[in-house]
Amino acid sequence: MPVPAHTISTSFAATAPDVAIVGAGVAGSALAIVLRRAGLDVHLIERSDPFRDRIRGETIHPWGATELRRLGLYTLAVADADAQPQQLWQTYRDRETQTPYRWADDFPDAPNGLGVNHVALQNALLGEAARLGAIVHRPATVSFDRAGGRPSLTVTSAAGESWLQPRLVVGADGQNSATRAWAGGTARPDPAHHHLGGALIRGLGLPADRIHQAFFDGGFVFVSPQANDFARLYLVVATPTAMEIQASADPAGRFVEYFRDALPEGTIGPSWESVGPAGFFPNANVPVAIPSSRDVVLIGDASGRNDPSQGHGLSLAFHDVRILGDMLLEGDDWSFVPDRFHATKHRYFETLRQHARWNERQASETGPEIDEIRARIARSRETDPSAGGFAAIFAAGPDGLEATGEARRHYLGLDLADDVANVA
Ligand SMILES: Cc1cc2nc3c(=O)[nH]c(=O)nc-3n(C[C@H](O)[C@H](O)[C@H](O)COP(=O)(O)OP(=O)(O)OC[C@H]3O[C@@H](n4cnc5c(N)ncnc54)[C@H](O)[C@@H]3O)c2cc1C
């Protein structure tokens, strides 16, 4: 859904806004909404118009849906972006349908995730930010400087050039953040273990009240249904397999083949079609180091990308928005906010990063060694189904969890008495 032209306003009058947000993706636009509701003067700078399908996050785990509720954005996501509530997690193993897991049974306060088209969500959030009075520069480029002790941004769009001297710059410009580079931040990806691919398919005829995860030897397919029988297929496989599929004549067709062949015979009919790009991405977490600052703060992927095969990115972005929004609305002195926010984010980002790494090998490896690891994890869950609290991470998020060495050993069952001698 394109943002109607009349909701986009452009102004060159306000040169010293409270906040300039670079990047109007989900993180930037959601923050603009929160700050506009509090009456702050907000400029949003977005380089792309229209947004296009870049194969991004479209499953919002239950903890992310909770963050949306806390931000007062859940209804907007459902009503304006057609987000589909997903109450169940349906798995398939050995081509058999397993009993679906119902989030509400264990987490009555986080009873569902959401499946949503990413571009529709971006448009809904940006449209709302503009409706609330955020000044949107789009499509626009930005260059950064400092003048008179303040950040100084030159924004160039079809309307000409404008000069902004905000109290605070928020970099919400994604994993290759230009704001981060200007602020002296660095991003160092972890080594990639496997690849995650995405394809948009219409006509699979799957129930939309659940996510679907089908396991096969060497990986899994994760399917997030959206409105109108659209679905995003995410395929997790070893990197050489991903490269081979990417180079094939019909990558999207191969995604569907993997899915179809992991489901009970006849579940997927012939009448589906590929309706978007298909492509692969390394699973690597990308932690970020950010120098101390009084007036530049990073949120969303700009401040660290979680392994996309874990599907936490959108939830993390909404969590960032809530935490940073609360800090900014707490008082007038913002000078401590960037460092305080970055320190807070570092803690919950690290928890998700380590948890992702604990799961990497099980995602796509095959053979007797990984079978033994899986068996040991299964034995460990018999004695502690909560996995030290980490089993709840998709429903409750990372807060309150600490990814220590001890937590890792417990998660992987390395602390089981009969296995201690086999610890690698
Ligand atoms: C293959 C894949 C699958 C994923 N699956 C999931 C999933 O299922 N669930 C989930 O929660 N997450 C998932 N993610 C992660 C999720 O998509 C991201 O974490 C999320 O989109 C981050 O949002 P963001 O707003 O921080 O950044 P982005 O979505 O990257 O938005 C950044 C915005 O900034 C703009 N921009 C960039 N540079 C500039 C500039 N210099 N000037 C102005 N504007 C600029 C961009 O145009 C864009 O609009 C997935 C990621 C990938 C790659």
Asked if residue 274 is part of any domain, the answer here is yes
pLDDT of amino acid 423: 46
Q: Is residue 379 part of a domain?
A: yes
Confidence at residue 15, expressed as pLDDT on a 0 to 100 scale: 84
Q: Identify the domain boundary among 261, 282, 303.
A: 282
Q: CA torsion 318→321→322→326, rounded to 10°?
A: 180
Does ligand 1 come within 6 angstroms of the Cβ of 303?
no
Residue located nearest, by CA, to atom 6 of ligand 1: 57
Note the pLDDT of residue 420.
46
Domains of the chain: total: 3
Q: Is the CB of 172 under 6 A from ligand 1?
A: yes
Q: What is the mean pLDDT of each run of 10 residues along the chain (424 residues)?
A: 39 75 98 98 98 95 98 98 98 97 98 97 98 98 93 95 96 98 98 97 96 97 95 97 97 96 93 96 98 98 98 98 98 97 98 98 96 96 97 97 97 81 46
Contact criterion met (CB below 8 Å) for 162 and 12:
yes
Rg of the chain taking only CA atoms, in angstroms: 22
133 lies in the same domain as 248: no
Please indicate, yes or no, if residue 103 is contained in any of the structural domains.
yes
Calculate how far, in angstroms, residue 405's C-alpha sits from the geometric centre of ligand 1.
30
Minimum CA distance residue for ligand 1 atom 49: 25
Q: Which atom of ligand 1 has the smallest separation from the CA of 224?
A: 8
Atom of ligand 1 nearest to the CA of 51: 49
Q: Is the CB of 276 under 6 A from ligand 1?
A: no
Cβ of 236 closer than 6 Å to ligand 1, yes or no, is no
Q: Nearest 5°: phi and psi at 42?
A: -125, 130
151 and 182 in a common domain:
yes
54 lines ligand 1 (CB under 6 A): no
Please indicate, yes or no, if residue 362 is contained in any of the structural domains: no
Answer whether residue 65 is part of any domain: no
Measured by CA distance, the residue closest to atom 5 of ligand 1 is 57
Structural domain contains residue 316: yes
**Residues 234, 381: one domain?**
no
- Do residues 271 and 204 share a domain? yes
Sequence-separated (6 or more) residues with CB below 8 Å from residue 60: 68, 77, 83, 113, 114, 115, 116, 314, 315
Is the same domain home to 266 and 384?
A: no
At 155 the three-state DSSP class reads strand
Strands 296-298 and 168-171 turn out to be parallel
Q: Which domain holds residue 175?
A: 5-54+118-189+287-348
Distance 4 CA to ligand 1 centre (A): 22
Is 311 a pocket residue for ligand 1 (Cβ < 6 Å)?
A: yes
Ligand 1, atom 39: closest residue by C-alpha: 173
- Going by C-beta distance under 8 Å and a sequence separation of 6 or more, which residues neighbour residue 181? none
Q: Do 274 and 299 reside in the same domain of the chain?
A: no
In a domain, 77, yes or no: no
Query: What whole-number distance in Å separates Cα of residue 82 and Cα of residue 86?
Result: 12
**Same domain, yes or no, for 37 and 144?**
yes
Q: Is the CB of 59 under 6 A from ligand 1?
A: yes
CATH number of residue 10's parent domain: 3.50.50.60
Do 178 and 313 fall within a single domain?
yes
Q: Do residues 268 and 390 share a domain?
A: no
What pLDDT score does 148 carry?
85
Tell me whether residue 244 is in a domain: yes
Closest residue to atom 26 of ligand 1, CA basis: 300
pLDDT of residue 104: 98
Distance, in Å, from the CA atom of 115 to the CA atom of 42, rounded to the nearest integer, reads 29
The token pair that represents 167 in the structure block: 């109290």
Q: Same domain for 307 and 238? A: no
The pick from 49, 173, 194, 306 for probing ligand 1's pocket by mutation, whose C-beta has the most ligand atoms within 8 angstroms, reads: 173
- Whether residue 156 is found in the same domain as residue 214: no
**Ligand 1 atom closest to the CA of 314, numbered from 1:** 11
pLDDT score of 6: 32
User: How far is the centre of ligand 1, averaged over its atoms, from the C-alpha of 29 (Å)?
Assistant: 12
Query: Is residue 326 located within the same domain as residue 204?
Result: no
Q: Is 142 in the pocket of ligand 1 (CB under 6 A)?
A: yes
Q: Say how many Å lie between the CA of residue 221 and the centre of ligand 1.
A: 21
